Amino acid sequence: MFSQYFGHYLLNRGLITLDQLADALEYQKSVHVKFGVIAVDEGFMTTGQVEEVHEKQKQVDKRFGEIAVELGYLTEAQVEALISNQKQGHLYLAQALVDRKYMTIDEFGTALSEYKKGFSLSDDQFEAIRNGNIDTLVENILSSEDVSLQEKYGKYISLFAKNMIRFIDSQVYLEVADNSSLESTNWFISQDIVGEASLKTGFSMNEDALLAVASVYAEEDLTVVDALAKDAVSEFLNLHNGIYLVNMSNWGIELTMNPQQIQESTPLYEGSLIVNVHSSKGSFQLVLS
């Protein structure tokens, strides 16, 4: 996720164009190697075991390595070795930008240092973000807007980023947006979480984004916003919220959730947090209050 985030940082600073970013992200896909692939390549796991861990990852909010250790497929030492092998993920973006001649490696290095300085990141925080720690990255995104946002929404958004990557698209970029950016003409799929830490959650989507997310989640090509398409997006929200409830329960906070609602227009709530969710499948807004 850091590649997407840092790529957008370069875009916002005018260091690369949108077309160059899209091209570099597409190009880096061809060189990015996933954890499971490295594990098989190293001879630590079989492909069947990797599949089993991927299946399990859809149900519990844990990292590949944690699950593999629990199942007895990897030792802690092997996980460490694989992490150090994979941790240079951001280098794939650097490689892609340099290969395509959009930036020199020096320019990339300078931008990376400025990013660290600009967000007042400690060495540990910067290292964690570069190594793909989504919790730290989300904390950084929220805290740069308002420190109280992290406390209120940090756990939810961090899990949401992971679930977008797990279920919809590996190329995800989140940014806090202005309340006025909500389009009332969009579809609104929502679900209320009830209990001591109540939360109203929803997706505000235009037709294209709804169909894109629905098609991926339903595993079929949906071209019309019909009952199945709406249901697929609604079920993705329900699944994500269900996993959030399990996490919160593990932290000692018991919550319940109401059935999802689907509306033809997005209500403009006062004081909501709006998060723009960009992916290669399309963009929509996560609305929380």
In angstroms, give the least distance from the CB of 243 to other proteins. 7
Which of 3, 140, 201, 241 is close enough to bind other proteins by CB under 8 A?
241
- Contact between 130 and 5 (Cβ < 8 Å): no
Q: Does residue 227 belong to the site contacting other proteins (CB under 8 A)?
A: yes
Rank residues 17 and 261 by Cβ distance to other proteins and give the closer one.
261
For the bound state, the minimum distance from the C-beta of residue 211 to other proteins, rounded and expressed in Å, comes to: 14
* 234 lies in the binding site for other proteins (CB under 8 A): yes
The region of 26-34, 87-95, 133-141, 249-257 touching other proteins under the rule CB under 8 A is: 249-257
Q: Verify binding: residue 231, other proteins, rule CB under 8 A.
A: yes
Task: Name the minimum Å distance from CB 263 to other proteins.
Answer: 15
Closest contact distance (angstroms) between CB of 191 and other proteins is 9
Residues 199-218 that bind other proteins (CB under 8 A): 217-218
Residues 6+ apart with CB under 8 A from 241: 191, 193, 201, 257
Tell me the closest approach of the beta carbon of residue 234 to other proteins, in angstroms. Answer: 7
Interaction of residue 38 with other proteins, rule CB under 8 A:
no
CB nearer other proteins, residue 42 or residue 254: 254
Q: Is 70 in the site for other proteins (CB under 8 A)?
A: no
**Number of residues this chain uses to bind other proteins (CB under 8 A):** 24
Strand, coil or helix: 274: strand
Among residues 101, 90, 91, 92, the alpha carbon closest in space to that of 20 is found at 101
Minimum CB–partner distance for residue 192 and other proteins (Å): 11
Residue 57 touches other proteins, criterion: CB under 8 A: no
| Measured distance CA(185)–CA(205) in Å, rounded | 9
Alpha helices (H) along the chain: 2-12, 18-29, 35-41, 47-57, 64-70, 76-86, 89-99, 105-118, 123-130, 134-143, 147-163, 207-218, 227-250
Interacting residues of 201 by C-beta distance below 8 A, sequence separation 6+: 156, 190, 191, 192, 193, 237, 241, 286, 287, 288
Dihedral, CA atoms, 197, 250, 217, 203, nearest 10 degrees? 10
Residues 6+ apart with CB under 8 A from 160: 174, 240, 286
The single residue among 10, 128, 243, 275 that binds other proteins, judged by CB under 8 A, is 243
Instruction: Tell me the window of 141-149, 168-176, 182-190, 251-259 that interacts with other proteins (CB under 8 A).
Output: 251-259
Residue 232 near other proteins by CB under 8 A = yes
User: What residues from 117 to 156 belong to the interface with other proteins (CB under 8 A)?
Assistant: none
Given the complex with other proteins, which of 140 and 191 has the nearer CB atom?
A: 191
**CA-CA-CA-CA torsion for 219, 245, 48, 71, nearest 10 degrees?**
180
Nearest to 242 by CA among 159, 118, 152: 159
Nearest residue (CB) to other proteins, 129 versus 193: 193
Among 109, 228, 264, 267, binds other proteins (CB under 8 A): 228
